[in-house]
Structure 1
Amino acid sequence: MLKQFCEQKTKKYFFCRDESHVNVEFPRRLVERNFRRIACDTCKEASAHWMIVDHDNLLPNSPGYLCSSCYKEFCFDVNGNKVCQFKAVPYCDRKDIGDGRQFFTELDL
Structure 2
Amino acid sequence: MKKVAIPIANKKISEYLCGCSHFAFYDMDTKNTTISKKEVIDFSNADEVRLWIKNNGITDLILHRIKKELIGIFTSEKINLFVGVPMVSAGQIIEAYRCGKLESDKKIITEITN
* TM-score normalised by structure 1 residue count: 0.21
Structure with the higher helix share, 1 or 2:
2
Whose Rg is larger? 1
Ranked by relative contact order (alpha carbons within 8 Å, sequence separation 6 or more), the top structure is 2
